[in-house]
Amino acid sequence: MSHKPISAAYIERKLRSILGGLGENPIPDFDDLKGLLVVENDRPEWSYAANERLLAGQNAVAAFVGELSWVGVAVPRNAGVLAVVEAFDFVTQPSNLFLRAIGDSSFDAMLSASATASLTPRDLRDDPLVVGSATRILAGHAGGGPGGLQFWVYQPTGNIARDKCSPFPIVLVPGTALVAVGNAVNVVVNSCSFAVRERPIEGKFEIK
């Protein structure tokens, strides 16, 4: 839990944003607040008022002789956000695709070996041509792969799969990444598409 002091004015601003309230305090009595204010609400229209970012992105990487190719999502060390990876789709050559979790011990080497780009807002109250993301979508290749720990495998029928099961959602903190890696060298990853919810870390919240 954050140790940041509670601000009544902050809560009132959020309520005004959610309700479109004008003029005086839209919720003058605490009883009027019951049933409205919740600790968590994953309805997408509430994310904007909560300063969450709904994001999506895709990337691809060619085959490289003697090297593994990967595509993924990363949260830079000083990003100040959490990234909840909600789902992904992929297209690859007929081959298994592994998910790897990248932590502090191999994060910097993986990031330096990757090309990174901003994700696109999927809440179009943010202009996708103007607003960038702290969370990065990435692609790369290296002889030993991106490091990290392999923990999930997809065995597609043909060359495409759409995830509709575990292990998602996956929470990334600053200095971590989730990457989809081919199971053999010299295999192209034609495309991986990720859906992400980016959440600010507020106050003195301890994430470790």
Q: Which residue, chain included where needed, has tokens 């507020």?
A: 202
Distances (CA, A) of 28 to 12, 15, 19, 21: 10, 11, 14, 12
Q: Tell me, rounded to whole angstroms, the distance of Cα 102 from its chain centroid.
A: 14
Residue 106: how many CB atoms within 10 A of its CB?
17
Helix extents (H) in the chain: 8-19, 44-49, 104-112
Global model pTM greater than 0.85:
no
CA dihedral 166, 168, 174, 178 (to 10 degrees): 70
Each of the 208 residues of the chain gets a pLDDT tens digit; together they read 455 666 667 777 776 666 666 666 656 665 666 655 565 667 777 777 778 899 999 999 999 999 999 999 999 999 999 999 998 888 877 678 899 999 988 999 999 999 999 999 998 888 888 888 999 999 999 998 999 999 998 877 665 555 555 689 999 999 999 999 988 899 888 889 999 999 988 755 444 4
- Which helix (H) or strand (E) segment holds residue 178: the answer is strand 176-182
Q: Which candidate, 192, 3, 207, places its Cα nearest to that of 89?
A: 192
Instruction: Give the contacts of 158 (CB within 8 A, at least 6 positions apart).
Output: 94
- Domains present along the chain, CATH in parentheses: 8-37 (no CATH), 53-200 (2.60.120)
174: tokens are 């600053």
